[in-house]
Structure 1
């Protein structure tokens, strides 16, 4: 800890981070990861390599009397060639669990996706910057700084006008969640507005979010990471990436689900485990993938390109996957009373779609994230739910 002109610099170390599975020392500072090094060595594509390094759900947590907090970071932002650049990612600062301030860090590296299908890219290096929070309430308080959920963020330095100490253990149950881009936070307005973060706050849980955009594909290395991560509650939301990437047929899907669950159970034999099927997505309910980008009108939307007639040959749709997941969970639950199933349309279904349509035909808007988080909190954490306190 260094002190100069009334400012205290505290090293950013793993012991003041939450929601991560690993950290990497870089030339600039510390890079949080949401998959461990062993798993990262097995990642087959840049899409997942980027997604797991984007810190959805990762936050700094500490106790302090500081009224001014600065966090130096080097963000890596993602843009798509031919489309407007997204707004800078948001840093959410919570005081005693409540959102108290927000900041952004302009500049940084820019990863320009030149082909949405192949994920080829060009990287332009840029400067580090500072997220600055002022006017915070005086007195001892628990502070969390949630990192931008879609910006790779290297942590360089934490500066405050009062000492910082590691936050005490919250005593809350740890919820380990795996899902696709919606769980990761696509189209969410800020990191604590991603639906799993909203649900965790309502359910009084500590979130570890393994939502990976485009990459909930039943990868064995993800299952092993979940097996080895301490957790009191576990959920797995799978299906839509398997369809829109068109990576397998029903014959391969069923044993892959069993294998994924078997691996998790090796490390968590009796932990409440909730399997969640896909949310409503009209373009893929009865039409197989692959999904293709559609830039008509100058905005990015998606369309399904498969042939519905091929379902008889094992091509997967969301309806097919929901039926199979329900069957698998029912079969396994005979020997696993802590295994549960939730139809994703109970989180976001026809009525929700009518009220909050999917802007790009796949991902909900911020209001949709809020609805999904509220529904999950009610159905999973609420009375009679698999994550209810008395059920745990």
Structure 2
């Protein structure tokens, strides 16, 4: 039996990280990013900057005989004035693929967001520690999944036995891009976001480029996907374009083509799955922009509403219904020359019957139970027999 506190400190390097596209050196340690530096330099969107630095799907992976692990981090936690408090981010530890512990980190910085004005303030705080003890004896693969919704600077990794990078198990890499639903908004833990659950069901390595508010057909995101090694690729398009009222149908169609063209430059034959939005009643036939429901905020609840006029669809404004129809048409057109391009209607992941049983609590994002449902549906439809990602 190893002594619990006979610590070895291991440098935090890219060799120990999976799911990140870049690693930034900071004052305290290293900060994983899900977009490369070149992409980060090509936008000024504070929401996207925050989302891509929140390490959804990013995990430390190593092989060790340690029975105790400590990870020092400096998280940045969000507080929205007038909204219910958000729970601290969760760190999931897996041993040989099975959940063996969960932890939270106290302290850290606080990002205060004024819901009325959009103004933000960062209040500095101390480094904290995620502790895991009582791990099984013997050599094992350990994964520490970082919080999917909390910016996390990695400061120090300590174990009571030496650490080395885990060997490559030869699993296929699944590269996915989507919105806050794909990032894991309202999921309970980092291994229970729907992409994490689907990747476990499909036996693949996940690279999750789900960005809250940031699935906007940005060319720099397409180039990041083009340049990222992957065996399987999916893009989930639509909800952010509608709820930000970002473009009209005239711009949407060529933007989709351009996004797919760029991905195909780096992955000409990989299975590529285009997924339309899940059901979201407030935006099915009502354009954006979306907005906070101030009446709900006054009652201490966070909910969203659509503020557009359904009549404006005639002028090219996007709704989820319009987006689904156009995505299906674009994929059908392109598939004649691209047999590895596939389409999935998002309502097969979460549709009318699912909404009746598990409504969206804030009218926009799924809860923990719905993430599990979507993950199960995606695993069956994409990775199952006959699916585009079947082994």
User: Same fold by TM (over 0.5)?
Assistant: yes
What is aligned with 1:13?
A: 13
Matched, 1:251 2:253: no
Within 2, Cα distance between the matches of 1:310 and 1:317? Answer: 10
Whether the aligned pair in 1 keeps the contact of 2:23 and 2:32 (CA below 8 Å) is yes
SS at match of 1:178: strand
Provide the C-alpha distance between the structure 1 equivalents of 2:267 and 2:118, rounded to a whole number of angstroms.
35
Q: Contact 2:92–2:189 at 8 Å: present in 1 too?
A: yes
Matched residue count: 386
> Which whole-Å deviations, capped at 9, do the CAs of 1:89-144 have from their partners, x for residues lacking one?
0000000001110000011000011146x743100000000000011111110000
Q: CA contact under 8 A between 1:196 and 1:209: conserved in structure 2?
A: yes
Paired position in structure 2 for 1:144: 143
Number of the residue aligned with 1:179: 178
What is residue 330 of structure 1 aligned with on the other side? 332
> Which residue, 334, 341, 344 being the options, matches 2:343?
341
Taking structure 1 as the reference length, the TM-score comes to: 0.97
Aligned to 1:40: 40
Contact 2:75–2:109 (Cα < 8 Å) also in 1: yes
- Do the aligned residues in 2 keep the contact of 1:46 with 1:119 (CA within 8 Å)? no
The reply on whether 1:388 has 2:390 as its aligned counterpart is: yes
* C-alpha separation in 2, matches of 1:120 and 1:227: 35
Residues 1:368 and 2:370 are matched in the alignment: yes
What is the root-mean-square deviation of aligned Cα atoms in Å?
Answer: 1.2
Is residue 105–residue 130 contact of structure 2 (8 Å, CA) maintained in 1? yes
Matched position secondary structure for 1:197: helix
Structure 1 unaligned regions, length at least 5: none
For residue 78 of structure 1, report the CA deviation from its aligned partner.
Answer: 1.0
Report SS of the residue matched to 1:100: strand
Counterpart for residue 74 of structure 1: 74
1: CA distance, partners of 2:374 / 2:118: 28
How far off its partner does 1:298 sit?
A: 1.5
3-state DSSP class of the match of 1:298? coil
1:6-63 CA distance string (max 9 Å, x none): 2101111111000000000000001000000000001221000000000000000000
Where do 4+ consecutive residues of structure 1 move more than 3 Å? Answer: none
Kept in 1, the 8 Å contact 2:289–2:308? The answer is yes
TM alignment of 1:1-392, pairs within 5 A? 6-115=6-115, 119-295=118-294, 296=296, 297-389=299-391
CA distance in 2, matches of 1:333, 1:377: 22
Q: CA deviation at 1:87?
A: 1.0
